[in-house]
Chains A and B, each alone.
Chain A
């Protein structure tokens, strides 16, 4: 799976979770860029991303992820 595909799929998950079709994520996107992305929605987002890519993030990864780019890197290394 190349990075373009990952971002396409991530974008779809973000749009569903935040119910906003205008969202377009890039490697630099952080919680500050998306209005509804607070700590509670973060849980929903993480679990939706895990289901989309059929992976499980480790606890350490979830707390250290700083932006969408880091999330995509973990996905790329994990998903087959």
Chain B
């Protein structure tokens, strides 16, 4: 459920928690059933409410036991009949710095403080051992957040009498225990409170009024983070990260801008951001996360981009590279099959909201994080905890090699039914009409940078474009496409030269961001209309191959033109009779210039 993925809207989740719960419980999915005992040192009610939601969203239906207020130690050490018969699958100990019995005072000697530290720590260690003996189940233990005031100011963190220093040392002892005990996990509230803002997190009003050790608004994030550990322990981590390329792993479009034109490396702030993101992805690989590519690109261009000398990731880092013009949901499902994993173990990272939407809709269970702007990529992937590490083995390090071998064996599968439905769901409206002066600059710019979906790759200066625009010898169309995710701007240009009753199409291009939306069909329909109005009988199309425009080699053939000639270099000429042409676009509403207001 999108509403429960990072970055979620805390306000919304808090307000709608009951209806979200109802929706999740009635969605018909089968979930793991687990019993979770929560031993609280403060109020835990809301923690459990949100924890339940986030676990449901991760395929776990939990039943909870909560200790009476602040009875964590008693419950752990002297379990009741109720608790014994509950028999938890996991124990969560929710303690905070409010539960530290004795802090150092300024009168204490270093030895006295060491004794205090030992005393506090052994109380916890006793408890962990008792829980392990009694239930033989995993334990999740909070570390401690920093205190919200510093008696000694900055010195509080370094002086052995400071509370900040004491907490830091206590935390360190918790970590040492976790390093040598399997099935013992730290819930890092020290990080969570810092990330949320310690001042807001520790607002004492919530403790003094409600005995919550953190502000109520921070609880959903707290529970989200806790749920990540639990779902990881119960095997619900994701396994693979499928990455788009253009504007995801580098800035720009490698097919259009060329390898030298993409942004990656140390040159600019933007290229450094992509570099940092690639480094993060490379680190994920070192955890055993399988990396794959899922990009709409020619294969050679994808490889060229990945071989950029300034990049961190290389083609070899990916188990599978799907760089083609198939729909992405299909590529994701094929990727899963080839890896022999379930499609819901895949995280799909793509900057394009329309691609994210189709994968979200067509690949149930796959994670599709928000990738709205390069500076947020790392945090959005990281905070979602898709690959939360609760154990780390030698196998994790070898996993990539293993999958690489499997991938070569697996068969391809193609199963897709509802593409038209998807297109209709995008709620697309196009403006397709003769050039308007205000758009000439954009039309020229698009014309000169489009390389892939471009049949003639003819270039125009702005002056030449203006001349075409004012001449009576041409039929011109620009196309602008709006869908429910926003305005794609001007994405297609067609220019035809009138030659008696024949129209010679000198230019037909489209931006790759709207591929497979049937925009080209909408353009063709409109062109046919315009030809009828001008008394044109035949449309003649030309295809001139370049290194980059292979994807439109058969464009006119797909349109229904007949090929009339082809020479040795692969240049082709095509013709279509205007009479009897039937409109082909069925998914885009088309309007004319009259709909372009106030410009």
List the interface of chain A (C-beta within 8 A of B). 13, 16-19, 40, 43-44, 47-48, 51, 59, 62-63
- Do B15 and A43 touch (CB < 8 A)? no
Known contacts: A47-B216, A47-B217, A63-B209. The answer to whether A40 contacts B46 by CB under 8 A is yes
- Do A44 and B11 touch (CB < 8 A)? no
Out of A18, A40, A51, A62, which one reaches B11, CB within 8 Å? A51
Out of A13, A43, A48, A59, which one reaches B46, CB within 8 Å? A43
Q: Which residues of B from 1 to 57 have beta carbons under 8 Å from A?
A: 11, 14-19, 22, 43, 45-46
- Do A59 and B216 touch (CB < 8 A)? no
- Do B15 and A59 touch (CB < 8 A)? no
> Once the chains are docked, how many angstroms separate the CA of A44 from the CA of B217?
9
When distances are taken between beta carbons in the complex, the residues of chain B under 8 Å from A19 are 18-19, 22
- Do A48 and B15 touch (CB < 8 A)? yes
Question: Can you report 24 A-B residue pairs in the complex whose CB atoms are below 8 A from each other?
Answer: A13-B15, A16-B15, A16-B16, A17-B15, A18-B18, A19-B18, A19-B19, A19-B22, A40-B43, A40-B45, A43-B46, A43-B210, A43-B216, A44-B17, A44-B46, A44-B216, A47-B14, A47-B216, A47-B217, A48-B15, A59-B205, A59-B208, A62-B209, A63-B209
> Once the chains are docked, how many angstroms separate the CA of A44 from the CA of B216?
8
Q: Which 3 pairs from chain A and chain B are nearest by CB?
A: A19-B18, A16-B15, A40-B45
When distances are taken between beta carbons in the complex, the residues of chain A under 8 Å from B16 are 16
In the assembled complex, the CB of A27 is this many whole angstroms from the nearest CB of chain B, namely: 23
Q: Which residues of B from 359 to 404 have beta carbons under 8 Å from A?
A: none
In the assembled complex, the CB of B125 is this many whole angstroms from the nearest CB of chain A, namely: 32
Closest residue of B by beta carbon distance from A16: B15
In the assembled complex, the CB of B15 is this many whole angstroms from the nearest CB of chain A, namely: 5
When distances are taken between beta carbons in the complex, the residues of chain A under 8 Å from B205 are 59
> Once the chains are docked, how many angstroms separate the CA of A47 from the CA of B212?
13
When distances are taken between beta carbons in the complex, the residues of chain A under 8 Å from B217 are 47
In the assembled complex, the CB of A61 is this many whole angstroms from the nearest CB of chain B, namely: 11
> Once the chains are docked, how many angstroms separate the CA of A58 from the CA of B216?
15
Out of B14, B22, B208, B209, which one reaches A44, CB within 8 Å? B14
When distances are taken between beta carbons in the complex, the residues of chain A under 8 Å from B15 are 13, 16-17, 48
Q: Which residues of B from 196 to 255 have beta carbons under 8 Å from A?
A: 205, 208-210, 212, 216-217
Specify the main secondary structure of chain B where it touches its partner. helix
Total A-B residue contacts, Cβ distance less than 8 Å: 30
Closest residue of B by beta carbon distance from A40: B45
> Once the chains are docked, how many angstroms separate the CA of A18 from the CA of B19?
10
Closest residue of B by beta carbon distance from A38: B45
When distances are taken between beta carbons in the complex, the residues of chain B under 8 Å from A40 are 43, 45-46
In the assembled complex, the CB of B453 is this many whole angstroms from the nearest CB of chain A, namely: 47
> Once the chains are docked, how many angstroms separate the CA of A16 from the CA of B22?
13
In the assembled complex, the CB of A55 is this many whole angstroms from the nearest CB of chain B, namely: 14
Using A43-B210, A47-B14 as known contacts, list a sample of 8 further A-B pairs with CB atoms less than 8 Å apart, ordered by residue number in A. A16-B15, A16-B16, A17-B15, A18-B18, A19-B18, A43-B216, A44-B17, A63-B209
When distances are taken between beta carbons in the complex, the residues of chain B under 8 Å from A13 are 15
In the assembled complex, the CB of B210 is this many whole angstroms from the nearest CB of chain A, namely: 5
> Once the chains are docked, how many angstroms separate the CA of A59 from the CA of B210?
11
In the assembled complex, the CB of B515 is this many whole angstroms from the nearest CB of chain A, namely: 42
When distances are taken between beta carbons in the complex, the residues of chain A under 8 Å from B22 are 19
When distances are taken between beta carbons in the complex, the residues of chain A under 8 Å from B18 are 18-19
> Once the chains are docked, how many angstroms separate the CA of A63 from the CA of B17?
25
Closest residue of A by beta carbon distance from B210: A43
Closest residue of B by beta carbon distance from A59: B205
In the assembled complex, the CB of A54 is this many whole angstroms from the nearest CB of chain B, namely: 11
When distances are taken between beta carbons in the complex, the residues of chain B under 8 Å from A18 are 18
In the assembled complex, the CB of B216 is this many whole angstroms from the nearest CB of chain A, namely: 5
Closest residue of A by beta carbon distance from B212: A43
In the assembled complex, the CB of A48 is this many whole angstroms from the nearest CB of chain B, namely: 6
> Once the chains are docked, how many angstroms separate the CA of A51 from the CA of B217?
10
> Once the chains are docked, how many angstroms separate the CA of A48 from the CA of B11?
8
Interface residues as binary, B69-86 with A (CB distance below 8 Å gives 1, 0 otherwise): 000000000000000000
Closest residue of A by beta carbon distance from B16: A16
In the assembled complex, the CB of B317 is this many whole angstroms from the nearest CB of chain A, namely: 44
Closest residue of B by beta carbon distance from A17: B15
> Once the chains are docked, how many angstroms separate the CA of A78 from the CA of B216?
22
In the assembled complex, the CB of B206 is this many whole angstroms from the nearest CB of chain A, namely: 8
Q: Which of B16, B19, B209 has the most chain A CB atoms inside 10 A of its CB?
A: B209
When distances are taken between beta carbons in the complex, the residues of chain B under 8 Å from A43 are 46, 210, 212, 216
> Once the chains are docked, how many angstroms separate the CA of A59 from the CA of B46?
20
Closest residue of A by beta carbon distance from B11: A51
When distances are taken between beta carbons in the complex, the residues of chain A under 8 Å from B17 are 44
When distances are taken between beta carbons in the complex, the residues of chain A under 8 Å from B208 are 59
- Do B14 and A48 touch (CB < 8 A)? yes
Closest residue of B by beta carbon distance from A12: B15
When distances are taken between beta carbons in the complex, the residues of chain A under 8 Å from B43 are 40
Closest residue of A by beta carbon distance from B20: A19
> Once the chains are docked, how many angstroms separate the CA of A17 from the CA of B14?
8
When distances are taken between beta carbons in the complex, the residues of chain A under 8 Å from B209 are 59, 62-63
> Once the chains are docked, how many angstroms separate the CA of A59 from the CA of B206?
9
In the assembled complex, the CB of A75 is this many whole angstroms from the nearest CB of chain B, namely: 17
Q: Which of A19, A48, A59, A63 has the most chain B CB atoms inside 10 A of its CB?
A: A19
When distances are taken between beta carbons in the complex, the residues of chain A under 8 Å from B216 are 43-44, 47
In the assembled complex, the CB of B246 is this many whole angstroms from the nearest CB of chain A, namely: 39
When distances are taken between beta carbons in the complex, the residues of chain A under 8 Å from B45 are 40
Q: Which residues of B from 454 to 500 have beta carbons under 8 Å from A?
A: none
> Once the chains are docked, how many angstroms separate the CA of A51 from the CA of B12?
11
When distances are taken between beta carbons in the complex, the residues of chain B under 8 Å from A17 are 15
Closest residue of B by beta carbon distance from A48: B15
Interface residues as binary, B428-439 with A (CB distance below 8 Å gives 1, 0 otherwise): 000000000000
Interface residues as binary, B507-536 with A (CB distance below 8 Å gives 1, 0 otherwise): 000000000000000000000000000000
In the assembled complex, the CB of A13 is this many whole angstroms from the nearest CB of chain B, namely: 8
